Chains A and B, each alone.
Chain A
Amino acid sequence: MHDHHDHEHTHTHEHTHSHEHTHDGVAHTHEHTHAHEHGHTHPHEHDSLHAHGDAHTHSHECSGACSSCGGGCAHTPMEELMALMKYMAGHNAAHAKELADLAAQLDKAGNHAAYEQVMAAVSDFEKGNMRLSLVLASLNEK
């Protein structure tokens, strides 16, 4: 945070974007670092952009409102949804395998009843994932 000051100054920032920043409407003169956030989208190289001393966040969050966004994303919200579903299908398959491995360990430990129950859960899990994959395939055709 900055103290209030009543004198003017100029300062330069070595970064490639422009932004407004006010400090309670009062200009001041001293060397400082400050934190700021800005939600615009722009191409950047991290090596060059972070050569200055300011702490900041570059936010590229997608609001999903494509018509009013100048971000120039390479994908639509539907493409993002599809990517997430595709990821989830793969993710669930990996978890199903992990569960099956756990079941095998239960069987090896002599608890065959528990093994069967967990494998039944794996089967249910895989059924759900199959349904997800079918939806994904259907969406891919459109």
Chain B
Amino acid sequence: MCLSTVYKNSRAEENIVLKNVMHIECKDGCVICTDLMDRSVAVEGVLESANLVDGYVVIKETVA
């Protein structure tokens, strides 16, 4: 039940998409993340990994 930080492509500070993420939904080729304040960020890509112990998620961007 911990909040997570979502990164795109790799776990680097400059790749942070959203912090304090409480909900993630994969829909229509997008990973939609929602934080504690109900802000949403949509990233076109796929969920690559989620570490629920350390509280981070990595999204692999889809780039044609």
Contact = CB atoms under 8 A, between A and B. Distances in A.
Q: Is the interface of A mostly helix, strand, loop or mixed?
A: mixed
Interface string B1-25: 1110000100000001111100000
A60 to B, nearest CB: 5
Q: Is the interface of B mostly helix, strand, loop or mixed?
A: strand
Interface stretch (A50-58, A104-112, A126-134): A50-58
B2 to A, nearest CB: 7
Chain B residues touching A, range: 20 to 34
B36 A84 contact: yes
Chain A residues touching B, range: 20 to 34
Contact of A46 (B19, B27, B37): B27
A123 interface: no
B37 A57 contact: no
A80 interface: yes
